[in-house]
Amino acid sequence: MAQSSDNNSLMAQAAKEALVAAAVSFGLFILYVGIETYQDINNALVWRTRWGLLAVFVVIAAVSRFLVVGFIKPHLDKRKRDKAKAGIPEVSDGKNFFQRNFLKIALIGLLIYPPLSVMLAGTQGSLKYVDNFGIQILIYVMLAWGLNIVVGLAGLLDLGYVAFYAVGAYSYALLSQQFGLSFWVLLPLSGILAAFWGVILGFPVLRLRGDYLAIVTLAFGEIIRLVLINWTAVTKGTFGISGIPKASFFGIWSFDVGAANNFTKAWGLSMSSAYYKIFLFYLILALCMLTAYVTIKLRRMPIGRAWEALREDEIACRSLGINTVTTKLTAFAIGAMIGGFAGAFFATRQGFVSPESFVFLESAVILAIVVLGGMGSLTGIAIAAIVMVGGTELLREMEFLKHVFGPDFTPELYRMLLFGLAMIVVMVFKPRGFVGSREPTAFLKERKAVAGSFTKEGHG
Amino acid sequence: MSVEPLLKVQGVQTFYGNIRALDGVDVHVNRGEIVSLIGANGAGKSTLMMTICGSPQARHGSIIFDGEDITQQPTHLIARRRIAQSPEGRRIFPRMTVYENLQMGAGLDKMKHFDEDVEKIFTLFPRLKERQSQRGGTLSGGEQQMLSIGRALMSRPKLLLLDEPSLGLAPLIVKGIFEAIKKLNEEEGLTVFLVEQNAFAALRLSHRAYVMVNGKVTMTGTGRELLTNPEVRAAYLEGGRH
C-alpha cells in the first residue's frame, strides 16, 4: 500500500516537473525555433512560424524530464543505496575477457577495418567509411594525443594547438610545391618546423600558468591563422593552396593517375581512389601508434615524469632540482611536433589547405576531446574522439530525420548543440572524463589492487 | 670557529616588491647539526627558507653553501647541490603514488641508489611502505609530511631544510616525525635546518637555535639555553605550549 502511494506521488512529481520543463523550453525556443525569418523574393525580411518543430522540442524536453525524474533518478538512487548497503566496492579482478584484451581487440579491429568495409560496401562504397569516418577520426585521435602531452601530462592549458596543425599543413603544402620534395622527406620536416614554433611560443609563456597561459596560446593560434590569411604572396591568403601532391607508397608506387608506377596499374586493379584512401588510413593509423608509443615511453622516462610533476606542483619540482624551463619547452615542442605530423598528413589527404581549416573551433574541439576522454588517458581520448568526431559525421547520415522534422531539417546544423550536450552529460556523470584515473607507471614489486580503484583524489 | 660552516647566511635582505621581509639576517649551520629557527607568524622564517632555495632571491647579502656562493643561482641548480627541502604545506605530488613521489626525489642521481635508499625510507617511516601504491593526495596529513621528508631524503642531501613539519598534525605524529629527524641526525650525521612554530618541540630537538622577529634574528643560543631563557619562555613557550 505504502509502496503504491509512494509511486503515485513520484509520478505526480515527475508530471509536474515535466510540465515545468515544457514551459521552460517553450519560452526558450519560441523565438528561435518557433519563428523563422527569411528573405522573400523582393529581398524583404519576412517571417513564418514553425509550430510543429517547436512542439517537437517541447515534447522532447517534457518527456525527457518525466523519464529522468520518474524512472532514471530513482533507479540510480536505488543502485547507490544498494551499493552502500553491500559495503564492498567492486573488485577490479572481475574483468571479463573483452575488458582485459580491449586494446588488442581494438587494434585488430582497426587493422581489418578497411578490407572489411571494401568487402561490405564495395570498392567505391568503402570510401565513405574509410575516409569520412576512419581517417577523419584518426586525425583527431592523433591531434588529441599530441595535445594530451601538453595539457594532460604537463598541465599547460593550450587553446591554440591548431596553430601547430596549420604550421605542419602549410609546411608540407608549400615545400612540396616549391621544391618538389616528397611526402616522406617533408613529414619529419613539418614536425620539426612545428616543434620549432612550439618552442617559439614556449619562451614567452614560460612564466604563465592557467588562465593567463590559455589566453596567450589562444592569441598565438589566431596570429598564425591571420598570418596565413594576410601573407598572400606566400600562402595565397583565403584562396588556400590547392594541388598538393599525394603521398607515395614509400616512393615505390605512386597514387597519381598519370604516373608510370601507378599503384592500381602495378597491381592490375580497377581505377579507384579507394586504394589511396586505404593507404592513407594505414598511414595515419601508423602515425597514431607512433604517437601512442612515444607518449607511453616518455611517461616512463624522467622527462615524462617531470611533466607530470610539473602539472602537480611547480614549486616542488624546482626544489627537487627539475629545470622547469626545459621541461615546459620540451612539452610544447613534442606536442607541437605531433600536431605538425598530423598537419602534413592532413595536407596530403585533402590536397588543399586554406586558413578556413585552422579556426579556433578546431582547437576547442581537440581540447574538448582531451578533456572528455580524461586528461592523460590515451584510451579515453581515443574513445572521446570516436564519439565526438564519429558522432558529428554520423549526423550527415541521418537523412531519415527529415521525415520526422520536415524537409528543411539539416542535421549537421545541430552538431554544436549535440557536442555541447555530450559535454554536459559526460561532465555530470564522469567529471574526470571517460577514463579519469591516472595509471601509475612504477611499482615496487607487484601491482596492488588497492592502488586507485578504491580511492578518489581530493579525499583523506 | 675553525671549521667552515656548511651553510652561511650573511646580511641577507629579501624583498617582496617594496616590502622588506628579511632585514639583514645572519645565520649559520655547521655540519652534523640540527639548527632551528623559531618565531611568530610573519616573522620571515619561511622567507629565509625560500631565500636559501633561491626563490625569491636575496637582494643584498650572501648565502654560502659548502664553500660556494649560491645567492644568485636558480632554484633547480641549488637543489642539485644537495640542499633538499620539505617545503611549507608539504607539496607532495597528489596524483602520483607514494612510490612515484619517492622516485621523483631520486631523480638527481638518475635513480642510481634508489632501491637502497627507498628501503631506508621505508624503515624510517613504515607507514609509507604500507601505502606505497596509494596516491599521494589520499594520504593523511602526517603521512604526507613523512612522504615529503622521505622524498627530500631520496636525493641524499647534505643539508635538509624542513619548513614547519608539525603544521596541522596531531601531537603524537609530530613526536614521531621529530624522533625520525633526530635518528637521522644521530645515525647518519644529517645536517638539518628546521623552521618551526612549535618552539618547545623544536628547541628540545636542536643543538642550536635562532629566534626571529620582524625579519631580524634577535636571539641565538643552544636549544637548552633558549628553552630556559625567560624572554623566549614568555613569548613562545608559555601559553603557546600545547
Please say whether the beta carbons of A160 and A218 come within 8 A.
Answer: yes
| Cα dihedral sign, A251-A253-A257-A260 | positive
Phi then psi dihedrals of residue A15, to 5 deg: -65, -40
Please say whether the beta carbons of B113 and B182 come within 8 A.
Answer: no
C-alpha to C-alpha distance for A323 and A223, rounded to whole angstroms = 29
Grid cell, residue A134, equals: 576512419
Per the CB < 8 Å rule, is A315 touching B91?
Answer: yes
Please name the residue of chain B whose CA is at the shortest distance from the CA of residue A327. Answer: B76
Q: Which residue matches cell numbers 565526438?
A: A388
Q: Which residues of B touch A438 (CB under 8 A)?
A: 95-96
Q: In terms of DSSP H, where are the helices of chain B?
A: 45-52, 75-80, 98-105, 114-124, 126-130, 141-153, 171-188, 199-205, 223-228, 230-232
Chain A contact probe: residue of B121, B133, B193 with most A CBs at under 10 A: B133
Q: What is the pLDDT of residues A100-125, one digit of tens each?
A: 777 888 888 888 888 888 778 777 77
Per the CB < 8 Å rule, is B100 touching A450?
Answer: no
- In tens digits, what is the pLDDT along chain B, a chain of 242 residues? 457 899 999 999 999 989 999 999 999 999 999 999 998 888 889 999 999 999 889 999 999 999 999 999 999 999 999 999 998 888 999 988 999 999 898 877 777 788 889 999 999 999 999 998 899 999 998 899 999 999 999 989 999 999 988 888 888 889 999 999 999 999 999 999 999 888 888 999 999 999 999 999 999 999 888 888 888 888 877 654 44
Per the CB < 8 Å rule, is B107 touching A321?
Answer: yes
Chain B contact probe: residue of A207, A301, A310, A319 with most B CBs at under 10 A: A319
Per the CB < 8 Å rule, is A321 touching B76?
Answer: yes
In this structure, the dihedral spanned by the alpha carbons of residues A99, A144, A204 and A323, taken in order and rounded to 10 degrees, is 20
Q: What is the pLDDT of residues A259-299, one digit of tens each?
A: 666 777 767 676 677 788 888 999 999 999 999 999 999 98
Measure B234 CA to nearest chain A CA, in Å.
Answer: 36
Q: Tell me the domain boundaries of chain A.
A: 2-84, 103-429
pLDDT at residue B168, as a whole number? 84
Measure B98 CA to nearest chain A CA, in Å.
Answer: 10
C-alpha to C-alpha distance for A253 and A279, rounded to whole angstroms = 11
Measure A377 CA to nearest chain B CA, in Å.
Answer: 13
* β-pairing verdict for A45-49 and B216-222: unpaired
Measure B177 CA to nearest chain A CA, in Å.
Answer: 20
3-state SS, residue A128: helix
Select the more confidently predicted residue: A397 or B100. B100
Q: How many CB pairs under 8 A join A and B?
A: 102
The residues, any chain, with a CB within 8 Å of residue A105's CB and separated by 6 or more, are: A98
What domains, with CATH codes, occur in chain B? Answer: 1-82+159-242 (3.40.50.300), 91-157 (no CATH)
**Confidence category of residue A198, pLDDT binned at 50, 70, 90:** very high
C-alpha to C-alpha distance for A124 and A274, rounded to whole angstroms = 6
Measure B67 CA to nearest chain A CA, in Å.
Answer: 20
**Confidence category of residue A449, pLDDT binned at 50, 70, 90:** very low
Closest to B121 (Cα-Cα) out of B91, B94, B101, B93? B101
Which of B74, B93, B99 is closest, CB to CB, to A316? B93
C-alpha to C-alpha distance for B215 and B197, rounded to whole angstroms = 15
CATH number of A103-429: 1.10.3470
Q: Does B52 touch chain A (CB under 8 A)?
A: no
Per the CB < 8 Å rule, is B140 touching A438?
Answer: no
Chain A contact probe: residue of B76, B129, B140 with most A CBs at under 10 A: B76
Please say whether the beta carbons of B128 and B72 come within 8 A.
Answer: no
Please say whether the beta carbons of A153 and A167 come within 8 A.
Answer: no
Which of A312, A322, A323 is closest, CB to CB, to B96? A312
Q: Which residues of B touch A455 (CB under 8 A)?
A: 134-135, 138
3-state SS, residue A294: helix
Which of A312, A315, A322 is closest, CB to CB, to B94? A312
Measure A387 CA to nearest chain B CA, in Å.
Answer: 27
Measure A453 CA to nearest chain B CA, in Å.
Answer: 10
Residue A459 has pLDDT above 60, yes or no: no
In eight-state DSSP terms, residue B215 is T
pTM, two decimal places: 0.79
Please say whether the beta carbons of A266 and A253 come within 8 A.
Answer: yes
Which of B79, B103, B108 is closest, CB to CB, to A442? B103
The residues, any chain, with a CB within 8 Å of residue A313's CB and separated by 6 or more, are: B91, B92, B93
* β-pairing verdict for B19-29 and B34-39: unpaired
- DSSP assignment of A135-191: IHHHHHHHHHHHHHIIIIIS----S-THHHHHHHHHHHHHHHHHH---HHHHHHHHH
